[in-house]
């Protein structure tokens, strides 16, 4: 059975390594599942979104859940927090990263208060990483792992990354940056993400080495069922009729046939290619039939377990906002092998 085809029940058979993790900005728990697959114990989480917290609890049953903004969590007096949180091996987090996406005029969003999602409090999204670093300073874990979009290391955002690295240094952590692609890590998806992996300076650990080269998993390997049909009255359908094998998105078709430069979010999916990044707002249509891809395709491409309970949530939103479990599993295995087994 392929590694991406798994069940939450399989976690009962994973050998535990005796290492503790706490997850911030946990969403549906993609990274949580990755750590568990690698043998870690994830003891709790922080999540601002009530729906995501309900989904997280349904699938992970955390001992110490905190449904609140990270800004509030970091202000909790230490004596009011469980002592286990001060004995962490890894502090995990994926600070919301939409303001660093390369789509649109991202710089205009920096420093602006906004709701990341309906129902949440307004906050400056580009400040969240620094609040996360404050949590690291409070809890003093051995290792901190933070995931973010590739856009963080491109263009003007490089200055922001420099501030992040310097902030980690000020609290006694050495940071390494890794740009990793899920397609080389067993994930049936081309998902490039930046990982900040910081180790506490006093532990005197060597640099971490991360290199992955697993064979790609093509769309035909995960394809199952059908999603909703393309509306035959829509412009998307008219463009779909004019598609060619080389076209990767409806934007290519629009530019070639109409001279228009739009419809970027509608991706044409080919059986012999690896699926593009699953984002919460992307639209995927099959090349060989006028249908969208199925929810099962999305779940498989994100390497989520087949028995995951999405409650009333949209699988594409939950998956698109989460770290693929296999990505985090592969990273967590190397952290254990190269650092924790050395006595850290």
Instruction: List residues with catalytic annotation.
Output: 97
CA atoms within 13 A on the CB side of 190: 8
Rounded to whole angstroms, the Cα distance separating 76 from 78 reads 6
328 CB contacts (<8 Å, ≥6 apart)? 30, 31, 33, 34, 35, 38, 92, 145, 147
Q: Which two tokens stand for residue 295?
A: 């929810």
Tokens of 147: 């995931």
**How far is 262 from 255, CA to CA, in rounded Å?**
8
The span from the CA of 38 to the CA of 336, in Å, is 9
3-state per-residue secondary structure call for the chain: CCCCCCCHHHHHHCCCCCCEEEEECCCCCHHHHHHHHCCCEEEEEEECCHHHHHHHHHHHCCCEEEECCHHHHCCCCHHHCCHHHHCCCEEEECCCCHHHCCCCCHHHHCCCEECCCCCCCCEEHHHHHHHHHHHHHHHCCCEEEEEEEHHHHCHHHHHHHHHHHHHHHHCCEEEEEEEEEHHHCCCCCCCEEEEEEEEEHHHCCCCCCCCCCCCCCCHHHHCCCCCCECCCCCHHHHHHHCCCCCCCEHHHHHHHHHCCCCCCCEEEECCCCCCCCCCCCCEEEECCCCEECCHHHHHHHCCCCCCCCCCCCCHHHHHHCCCCHHHHHHHHHHHHHHCHHHCC
């Amino acid at each position: 059975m392929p590694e991406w085809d798994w069940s939450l029940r399989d976690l009962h058979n994973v050998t535990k390594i005796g290492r503790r993790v706490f997850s911030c900005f946990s969403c549906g728990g993609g990274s949580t599942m990755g750590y568990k697959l690698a043998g870690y114990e994830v003891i709790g989480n922080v999540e601002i979104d009530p729906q995501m917290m309900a989904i997280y609890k349904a699938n992970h049953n955390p001992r110490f859940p905190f449904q609140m903004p990270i800004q509030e969590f970091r202000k909790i007096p230490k004596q009011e927090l469980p002592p286990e949180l001060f004995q962490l091996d890894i502090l995990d987090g994926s600070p919301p990263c939409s303001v660093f996406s390369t789509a649109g005029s991202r710089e205009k969003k920096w420093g602006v208060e906004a709701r990341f999602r309906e129902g949440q409090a307004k906050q400056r999204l580009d400040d969240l990483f620094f609040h996360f670093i404050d949590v690291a300073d409070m809890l003093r874990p051995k290792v901190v792992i933070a995931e973010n979009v590739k856009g963080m290391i491109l263009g003007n955002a490089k200055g922001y990354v420099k501030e992040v690295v310097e902030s980690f240094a000020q609290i006694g952590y050495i940071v390494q940056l890794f740009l990793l692609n899920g397609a080389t890590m067993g994930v049936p998806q081309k998902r490039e993400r930046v990982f900040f992996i910081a180790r506490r300076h006093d532990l005197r650990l060597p640099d971490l080495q991360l290199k992955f080269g697993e064979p790609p998993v093509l769309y035909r390997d995960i394809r199952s069922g059908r999603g909703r049909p393309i509306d035959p009255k829509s412009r998307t359908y008219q463009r779909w009729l004019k598609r060619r094998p080389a076209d990767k998105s409806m934007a290519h078709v629009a530019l070639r046939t109409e001279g228009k430069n739009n419809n970027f979010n509608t991706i044409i999916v080919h059986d012999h290619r690896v699926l593009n990044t699953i984002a919460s707002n992307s639209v995927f249509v099959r090349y060989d039939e006028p249908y969208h891809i199925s929810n099962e395709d999305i779940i498989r491409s994100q390497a989520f377990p087949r028995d995951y309970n999405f409650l009333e949530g949209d699988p594409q939103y939950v998956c698109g906002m989460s770290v693929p479990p296999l990505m985090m599993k592969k990273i967590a295995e190397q952290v254990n092998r190269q650092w924790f087994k050395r006595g850290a």
